[in-house]
Structure 1
Amino acid sequence: MKPKQINRDQHNDIVTLFHSESDRGAAVLSGSYVENVLGNYLRHKMTDKSLAEELFNTNGPLSTFSQRIAVAQAYGFITRDTGETLNYIRKIRNHFAHHPFEASFNESPVRDWTERLKSILPLREDQDEVREEMDYRQVYLISCAYFCLTTQGRMGDRGRHE
């Protein structure tokens, strides 16, 4: 499926929407938003855009979040730390999607994955106190937002496609 282009101006509206959702809704929607941004970034990096539909279609080699993460990291489009962050976001999103009655940011395994996100969240050293005060849901949403904003910034206006 072709990733939907969302411009940077819409980002704040989307973040506000995620904050008004239940934990499950926030986890699934924001994780899917991250997957969409990663797909747009990979399309942006393509030199032959005529192959995009084939690569991103339902059975294409870039149809899943995990495949997109692996390719982006393998080709150096994202760092190992970013790949690790994206894999935790993917795991959390999938856990909430597939365990609707059991999933919670405050219980294992989501709590453990979010602890890992918290430890790799790129904050300045003088913000360590802020890091410690964040709850698990905030860590997840901030990790999602950070990736989306920095990636959309790397694409600039050239990241927009039809």
Structure 2
Amino acid sequence: MASQKEKEKHIKSKLNDFDGWFNEINTIRDDRGAAILAAAYLDAYLEEILIAFIIDDEKCKEKLFGSAGVMSTFETRAHIAYGLGLISNNEKEDCVIIAKIRNKFAHQLHNRSFKDDDIKSVCNNLRTLKRSNSKGKEEKLAIGEREKFMFSISIMALEIRERIKNIEHRNKQPEKNRDL
């Protein structure tokens, strides 16, 4: 079984290859595969920003991020990252929406598509791509739901990647023998 440090190193190498990931996603014709892979990529960025923020203690990281850890799910990571001020409320809300969409693809066996009404409806709630015009009215983008989903993830992943580079650990090492 790989150590937490080995897993972190593997994740970092994959996250640094944004172009490779983006190209891979665009070669996947199947909506299900693309949705699951894209959501996993954003989830890995959330894990990485949280790991960058916490103290450098392998046992702590394993308890937090391991398979039974309190930060083992995508949606939980989004809420915690928001609570720590690492992502915005809009990014947190989009992560929750992306997790819902991913789950729709992952947990239903047949014929899921970004063209399905329930998935289209949820995609239309993504905030990352919503922009207002000069009069304060929201402009609708003339792109499909799959593109909204993928572009939202791409934008958030790039923004989180930049934040990871700038995070300073509050406590690189846990305090030893601290009397309370």
TM-score, normalised on structure 2? 0.77
- Pick from 50, 57, 62 the counterpart of residue 71 of structure 2: 62
**Secondary structure of the structure 2 residue equivalent to 1:116:** coil
Consecutive unaligned residues in structure 2, runs of 5 or more: 169-180
The number of equivalent residue pairs is: 156
C-alpha distance in structure 1 between counterparts of 2:79 and 2:68, whole Å: 16
Are 1:44 and 2:52 counterparts? yes
Are 1:17 and 2:18 counterparts? no
Residue type matched to 2:65 in 1?
F
**How much does 1:100 deviate?**
3.4
Match of 2:35 in 1: 27
Match of 1:134 in 2: 143
C-alpha distance in structure 1 between counterparts of 2:167 and 2:122, whole Å: 34
Query: Residue by residue, what CA displacement relative to the aligned partner does 1:42-77 show, whole Å, maximum 9, x if unpaired?
Result: 001113443112100011100111111111122222
Match of 1:151 in 2: 160
Asked whether the 8 Å contact 1:24–1:100 carries over to 2, the reply is no
Cα distance change of structure 1 residues 36 and 8 upon mapping to structure 2, 3 Å threshold: closer
More helix by share: 1
Consecutive unaligned residues in structure 1, runs of 5 or more: none
Cα distance change of structure 1 residues 33 and 8 upon mapping to structure 2, 3 Å threshold: closer
| Percent identity of paired positions between Structure 1 and Structure 2 | 26
- Cα RMSD over matched residues? 2.4
**Secondary structure of the structure 2 residue equivalent to 1:5:** helix
C-alpha distance in structure 1 between counterparts of 2:157 and 2:24, whole Å: 15
**Secondary structure of the structure 2 residue equivalent to 1:132:** coil
- Pick from 87, 91, 100 the counterpart of residue 78 of structure 1: 87
